[in-house]
Structures are given as C-alpha cells and as structure tokens.
Amino acid sequence: MPLPMDPLQMVHSGPRKKRPRQMGTSMVSPPHDIKFQDLVLYILEKKMGTTRRAFLMELARRKGFRVENELSDSITHIVAENNSGSEVLEWLQVQNIKASSQLELLDVSWLIESMGAGKPVEMTGKHQLVRRDYSASPNPELQKTPPLAVKKISQYACQRRTTLNNCNHIFTDAFEVLAENYEFRENEVFCLAFMRAASVLKSLPFTIISMKDTEGIPCLGDKVKCVIEEIIEDGESSEVKAVLNDERYQSFKLFTSVFGVGLKTSEKWFRMGFRTLSKIKSDKTLKFTPMQKAGFLYYEDLVSCVTRAEAEAVGVLVKEAVWAFLPDAFVTMTGGFRRGKKIGHDVDFLITSPGSTDEDEEQLLPKVINLWERKLHHQRVDSGKCSQQDGKTWKAIRVDLVMCPYERRAFALLGWTGSRQFERDLRRYATHERKMMLDNHALYDKTKKIFLKAESEEEIFAHLGLDYLEPWERNA
C-alpha cells in the first residue's frame, strides 16, 4: 500500500534523478488559496540559496500563506536563515527599503513551525531576529536576541512529550514499514534503529523539510538519514517502495494479521509456498491452535478497527461481569485509548481490587470468561433459527483483561498504558541512568537494594527523577 503524501512535506515525486539547477526565483507555480490575508511573506535568499528558497516558497503557498517573489512595501514578514537581525537590516539598507515598526524579521524556524501547525504560530523571542521599538527614536538601538537555542532532545521517549499530533508522518510511516520488515526478518538491531527514529520524529513540534533540520536530533543514524534525504528530495523512499512490493513482506504482513499467528508460523507457511489465507484455511494437513481458529473464524472483524464508542461499550460489559464477582474492583481502560486514540485494534482493561485475596485474583478471570460463555450459549439457544436467518448482528473484538494486586496497580497501569516504544525507553532509562529495574510489577533500586513503593504513576516518575508525562503525551 503506498505511503500517504502530505503536500507540506513533499514537493517532488517520481524516480530519483539529477534535476537541472533552477535559474532565478520568479518561478511560475499554480495559484493557491490564501488563508492568511494579513500576512505577506518574503523569504530571503541570502545564505539560503535559490533551490531551498523556491522549495520553501512553494511549501508555504500550499499551506495558504501569501509569499511574494519580489521585495516591496507590502511585505509584513521577512523570513531569513542563518542571518542575524543586523545582517538582514544591512541587506534592507542596500535594497533602499526602510524597516518600519510593522515589519517583522523572523528566523526560518517560525515559518517551519507555522507550516507544521497549518497556521501562523505566535512569534516569540526565539523567532524574532531583532527586538525593537521604532517609536522611541528615528535611529533606534537594535537589540539582537540571543542565538537560537536548540533545545536538547533526549534519546529517551520518557523525556519527550509525544502527542498524537505527528508533524512528520511521511518519514515515520516509512520508518515503521522498514522496522516491520526487519522485525519479520528477525533483525533486531535495524528494527530498533528505525523504531527509535520514528519515535523521536513523532515528538518534534515542527516538520523536517531539509537535512539541516535533523542536526542535533538523536537516534538518526546514517541508514536512517539516507531515507530522510531521499524522501525530502523525491517525496518517497525507494527502499520502502521495494519492501512494500516484496513478496515475503506482503506474505508475513498478511499471515501475522491473523490472531494467534506469529513470526515462526508465518515463516513455516511462507516456506511451504502459501501466499493466501484461503489456501492455508483449505489445507487439510495444517493444524491450528484454538487462537488461530478464532483468528480465521472472525478474521474480518478482528482486522477492522475498533472505535472508541465500541471500546466503551465493551467496557460496560467488562465492568458488569467483574463487579458480579468483585463489587469493589477498579476497571480501567488502558492502551492506546487511554493515550487519547480514537481507534485501535484491541481493547485492554486493568482490573484491581483493594479487598481481594490471592485466591480472588486467581479465580476472577476464569469466572468472568465462564459467565460470558454461559450467556453466549443461552443467546444461541434463545435465538434459534432467527439468528441463522437474520445473519450476524454483533462484532468480534479482541479484549485483553489484566488482573493485578492492588498494591502494584500503579506499575501495572504505567506498563499497560504504553506506547511500546515509550515503555522500552522508560525501562532502558531506569537501567542505564538510575541503576534501577522497572517492570509491570515493581521498581527495584539496585544501589539501595530495595523495592520502591508507589501509589500512583506520578510517584514512579518521581522515583526515576523524571517529569511526569500525561498518558496522551506517551504516544511514542
């Protein structure tokens, strides 16, 4: 399936080839709707270069900004790259243009952030090349802002706030395809490399539009940067294109979409020459596990997305069943839905009870499943022939139920909320930076040789010396 292409992130497409150098900046381009009438931008070519300037002009126009080819009195914002405020003012003097109090001199970071947001963002000190008050004097003393401070980006997802607002889909989608392909080939090193790269780009508040934008960003190795550069130049990655067309990748992607089928089974089926699910299901020599049988039986339901409304409806059924046996139990939806996602592929629930015994915890899930099986049996008996005539009126959804002791609920809640990469980095951080061991059950301090207690997720973050991140900030 082809990767989605956002016009903000892609101008060129097609096969990689050497392009002729553009002469001049007055390029003819199709008209774009202007959304922000009060802003008139001029992008300075000085220190930027002709090609990058033309590239940024086209991107900005596609996002609804009015960008002029030539300098005039109507310009309200001048955008520059690698220029100080005094350098831009000197350039304006050479052009015989007076810098009025209404003219904003801005670093290109403002334009990049604005394009990523789809609207002009607030101009702050980090964006403004000069701070000035022209009303005070005809020859004001111009105060330059400090050099643009590049905030250090952590290599750990647990030190980055990652919302669902991903400004770099065109790159992260590509990385996830490559990571999945390496996972299918059991190459853990490259799989993790691309997963970490995707994770860090998801946390960025701006869109990467040049290789210069990648400077200082961790987890971007040479192999990753090659993919980024090709996407910037061509709008797509030839490596991703090859993977999506690869028979082995397509087969593994299809086989693992069946509930209960992992890499070993996929490898076995691929080596046996299978390429379609219909051939696998009809083969009499194959034996399937109970999970795989369910996976084939309800395949269309299980591969379709679960909506938040469906997840909440399942939550009502889960709570009703759990409270029939443990009336004081807490039932919390975890996973992607707790992180703010609107759709998912399954629903996870954490169950804990302050008054439960070890025996209660061991017996709860079998009791709940038995209750549902009895209800399902009665429904089938009651419906009789009508169900056969009317067809299936329900949807199969994968539900994960997790029971944990009440005193360990904070660790279980943190572990089951995700995302997967966030949890990996959180544990990696605990091990390498704090000399601690963290899992879904406990936090152990190897230096003090004690288990650290926690009543909430906030306390676990505090033990690790981390700023607390809300669940919706953990979409790494």
Catalytic residues, which ones?
Answer: 346, 348, 400
Q: Give the list of residues 6+ apart from residue 277 with CB closer than 8 angstroms, or none.
A: 254, 255, 258, 296, 299
Smallest CA-to-CA distance from 213 within 228, 224, 191 is with: 228
**Using CB atoms within 10 A of its CB, is residue 93 exposed (0-12), middle (13-18) or buried (19+)?**
exposed
Place of tokens 């980090």: 126
Tell me how far apart the alpha carbons of residues 385 and 210 are, in angstroms, rounded to a whole number. 64
**Using CB atoms within 10 A of its CB, is residue 325 exposed (0-12), middle (13-18) or buried (19+)?**
middle
Neighbours of 74 (CB within 10 A): 9
Instruction: Describe the crossing of helices 108-117 and 50-62 by its angle, rounded to 10 degrees.
Output: 30
Q: Give the list of residues 6+ apart from residue 165 with CB closer than 8 angstroms, or none.
A: none
The token pair at 178 is: 């490559």
Residue 24 phi/psi, 5° resolution?
Answer: 80, 170
Helices (H), ranges, 95-187: 108-117, 169-184
Neighbours of 368 (CB within 10 A): 21
Q: Give the list of residues 6+ apart from residue 395 with CB closer than 8 angstroms, or none.
A: 301, 304, 310
Tell me how far apart the alpha carbons of residues 181 and 186 are, in angstroms, rounded to a whole number. 9
Q: Do 441 and 416 meet the contact criterion of CB atoms below 8 Å apart?
A: no
